[in-house]
Amino acid sequence: MLFRSVNQELTDIYSVIGGAAERQQSREAEAQEWHASMLNHMSALEQNSQDAADLNQLKSLVNSRLGNIREALKNYQESEQQQKKMSGQLQELARRIRAMEVEAEKNRTALEKHRHKALHDPLTGLPNREAYNERIGNEYQRWLRYRHPLTVAICDLDHFKQINDNFGHQAGDRVLRFISRSIAKRLREIDFFGRIGGEEFVFIMPDTTRDQAFVVLEKIRSSIAATEFN
């Protein structure tokens, strides 16, 4: 429904623009023609004034030329009215374009919000399994093409069930959020870190060998192990 509406708006806009361009070209041609016509009438009027044998003949010639000038002026005024109409159409066109831009921005923002919601875990704010599936597919294709090192690691929290059983799920949620932030800030921007299960997390580390990844992950593990939880 939205795309049909946008297509109809675009069709109307193209129609107005096309008509405006044609009218503008026509108006320019009419203006040139009118200017040439005025020059001819003035030249003829000057010549008639010199060639007239008497006052009556001169009056008749002048009236005839003035009639032609009045007719040309009337036609030009009608063209000016059409130009005003075209200007109104172009103003309406500008208004509709602005409205479409506002609507497009709203739709883009809404789509970004929906996409972010679909690809992120609501509890920790980390990318979720769907985001992982998308990213790992891209990284795998990149690996096939360039054969740069790529490491994928999965981890979970030991004895996490005991936290929920002894202190409640709210305490467990706080632990998940704390650990998620603690791990994320120790990784590079190009690394992927997401939550794929209850207490399960996944790392994707591009341009990183297994040994290099192990050093980083061991530092993270030891840091969390040494953290005191109240």
User: Could you list the active site residues?
Assistant: 199
> Cα–Cα distance between 45 and 52 in angstroms, integer?
10
Contact by Cβ (8 Å): 163, 151: no
Residue ranges of the alpha helices (H) in the chain? Answer: 2-51, 55-119, 129-146, 160-167, 169-184, 210-225
At how many degrees (to 10) do helices 160-167 and 169-184 cross?
Answer: 140
From the list 96, 112, 104, the residue with the least C-alpha distance to 13 is: 96
> Cα–Cα distance between 62 and 5 in angstroms, integer?
59
> Cα–Cα distance between 150 and 15 in angstroms, integer?
54
Contact by Cβ (8 Å): 201, 195: yes
> Cα–Cα distance between 69 and 63 in angstroms, integer?
10
* Geometric angle at alpha carbon 63, from 59 and 68, rounded to 5°: 150
